Structure 1
Amino acid sequence: MEIRQIRYFMEVAMREHVTDAADALHVAQSSVSRQIFNLESELGVDLFIREGRRVKLTPIGKIFLDRMQQAMNFIDEARREVEEYLDPEKGTIRIAYPISLAAYTLPTVIYAFRLRYPEAKFQLKQALYRDIIDGVIKGDFNLALIGPLPMEERKIDRKILFTENIVALLPIHHPLAERSSLKLRELKDDPFVLLPEGFVFRDIVVNACNELGFSPHVAFEGDDIDALKGLVSAGLGVALMPEVTLVESIPRSTVKIPLTEPNVTRTVGVITPIHRSLLPTEKLFYDFLNEFFARLDHFNN
């Protein structure tokens, strides 16, 4: 088996089309077909089901793809480790993050890091909560910012960077809009705007309401935090959201109000794989994360 064969195989598997894979690889279609044929002959199995010009993985092909993705991750990391060993300040950091940290937290820390290491590069991946955890475990990336921290997962290491408050965002003409604080149960009869099911932050909101004996009436769903802000601005409901998402500005026609009962919070931190070491540039960024948020916490207190 050659690395070239594996790369050709993975490209065809992703695109389910030999011609499209060849175009993406900038090689002749016949070369891709020949390498796939040689790989199947060497393994003694069919990796693809041919359906005209399209192809689909066989059951064993799916297993082989999963293993090869992990293997190629290790090969790519080995190459990067050698490069970064020579000059870690010029390496690449692959990091995943959820949508709630995309607008402020991650850009802020990357900006500060690149002031110190201006030649460092980043590959960023926004993903759902469970996909972030699985990606760190499988080796798709070695670092992820995440909130809340998954405390039960045994295959990752975790470090809390800060704990943030969850606040209420109300339309400016809401009857409680002039309050300096409010109790969550005071919103039990209001329409809520929430993220769709599958987002862990939705679970935080729903669980906080359930603990007070009510289920939020979901009037609308938004695909991201900015969508929720827009729905509240339009007067279509109330929302709970991480305070960090409102740091730079409060959306037009809305007010932010702290919650006092209960004090809803979430932990935000960084996770890394327990069985793999960080690459040199990743280790620089990991140490910087801890230093940055420790200094920020000291300043705030």
Structure 2
Amino acid sequence: MSALDDGRRALDDARDARLGQVSIASETLLTVARVLGGFRTTQPLADVRLFQSDGEEMSRQLRSGQVDFCVASQRLSGPRLKSIELGREECLLAVPLGHRLDGRDRVTVPELADEPFVTMRPGHLQRTFLDRLFAVHGLVPRLSCVGDEPGASQDMVSAGLGIGLIPAMSRRLGTSTHVPVAWVRVDVPDCHRVLTLVWNEGSYLSPTALAFSEFITSRPFMTHRLPEQCPVGDRRRVGSSSRRAFGAGSGGFPADAMEGTADGARADRRSPPCRGLTGPAWPPRRARPPARPSCWRRCRTST
């Protein structure tokens, strides 16, 4: 059946002006949000399908052809599965503000023996990593919160439900500004995760899937960025023709948008235009007054 499904996808891609689709699975959506945002700017018509799965589910999805790629932080097993390393990052210990470990630079695993942990169900990296760290010291972690959403771990820690191991990506993304926690290093030599791109070498890959594989490996994974966002309160997007209209005035605004407004405010105090996207320009150019008819000029001359 897999060969028949691949054949159907190839025929669909041949008829589809969008060059097909790409299906991706990841343990947490936060990991792939930036790379997918960047990919959509290069392939705006791409049909992207995204799944959130644990390690066992991702292996099954690759074998069945349900997904083209997995962005995994643990080893996926199965015949004909190939992988390439995307990057590696440290796993940090998140603790609530005011916790006894708040302010510490690093901590050993035995010091955490009596601490309640916020973690995931078996099959997720955070749980696998936590169990492995404690097993080395002959310990079993105390679990206060067990879930299926890795992205919620920091919220649970911030709420005081326990402490947790969280990849450093959360700290770099500035999540502590709206979900405040303190970060502490764990004093072990291999406290990091390795992100890999995994695929089934026997499965059909559409042109869009091939383009995605080239894009995600074209630069260090952690340097991918989301496209610039539109200003709050105005979600209209600027096209290439509209972008050319900006730049004449200060801060990227057209010169005529810099003139004083009715209440004495200046137009350049408003949010800047959203660049790199598509849609009508913001702020709009002021409308020109309608041209007076030629008969009006003749009447003025005769009088």
Give the TM-score of the pair, scaled to structure 2. Answer: 0.66
For the pair 1:74 / 2:1, whether they are aligned, the reply is no
The worse-fitting range, judged by mean Cα deviation, of 204-213 and 71-80 is 71-80
Aligned to 2:86: 161
> Contact (CA 8 Å) 2:6, 2:204: kept in 1 or not?
no
For the pair 1:127 / 2:53, whether they are aligned, the reply is yes
For the pair 1:95 / 2:24, whether they are aligned, the reply is yes
For the pair 1:110 / 2:36, whether they are aligned, the reply is yes
User: How far does residue 157 in structure 1 lie from its aligned partner after superposition?
Assistant: 0.7
SS at match of 2:212: helix
User: How far does residue 255 in structure 1 lie from its aligned partner after superposition?
Assistant: 0.8
Aligned to 2:182: 255
> Contact (CA 8 Å) 1:97, 1:125: kept in 2 or not?
yes
SS at match of 2:220: helix
> Contact (CA 8 Å) 1:160, 1:267: kept in 2 or not?
yes
**C-alpha distance after superposition, 1:84-105 (max 9, x if no partner):** 6xx5x65321112112xx12x3
SS at match of 1:203: helix
User: How far does residue 143 in structure 1 lie from its aligned partner after superposition?
Assistant: 1.4
Aligned to 2:170: 245
- Residues 1:173 and 1:144: Cα distance change in structure 2 (over 3 Å): same
> Contact (CA 8 Å) 1:149, 1:268: kept in 2 or not?
no
* Structure 2 counterparts to residues 187-206 of structure 1, below 5 A: 187-206=112-131
Structure 2 gaps of 5+ residues are: 225-303
The alignment-based identity, stated in percent, is 22
Instruction: Tell me which of 211, 214, 217 is aligned to 2:142.
Output: 217
For the pair 1:231 / 2:156, whether they are aligned, the reply is yes
Amino acid at match of 1:269: T
Amino acid at match of 1:258: R
SS at match of 1:288: helix
User: How far does residue 247 in structure 1 lie from its aligned partner after superposition?
Assistant: 3.0
Amino acid at match of 1:171: P
SS at match of 1:82: helix
Query: 2-side partners of 1:148 and 1:73: how far apart?
Result: 28
**C-alpha distance after superposition, 1:232-274 (max 9, x if no partner):** 1122211112222343212534212222324311211111112
Aligned length: 222
Query: 1-side partners of 2:61 and 2:202: how far apart?
Result: 14
- Residues 1:255 and 1:158: Cα distance change in structure 2 (over 3 Å): same
> CA RMSD for the aligned pairs?
2.3
Query: 1-side partners of 2:155 and 2:191: how far apart?
Result: 22
The worse-fitting range, judged by mean Cα deviation, of 165-174 and 181-190 is 181-190
Aligned to 1:137: 63
For the pair 1:283 / 2:210, whether they are aligned, the reply is yes
User: How far does residue 178 in structure 1 lie from its aligned partner after superposition?
Assistant: 0.4
Structure 1 gaps of 5+ residues are: 1-66
SS at match of 1:258: strand
| Greater share of helix | 1
Amino acid at match of 1:95: I
Aligned to 1:270: 197
- Residues 1:148 and 1:197: Cα distance change in structure 2 (over 3 Å): closer
Aligned to 2:102: 177
Query: 1-side partners of 2:69 and 2:159: how far apart?
Result: 37
User: How far does residue 279 in structure 1 lie from its aligned partner after superposition?
Assistant: 1.7
Query: 2-side partners of 1:82 and 1:229: how far apart?
Result: 44
- Residues 1:108 and 1:255: Cα distance change in structure 2 (over 3 Å): same
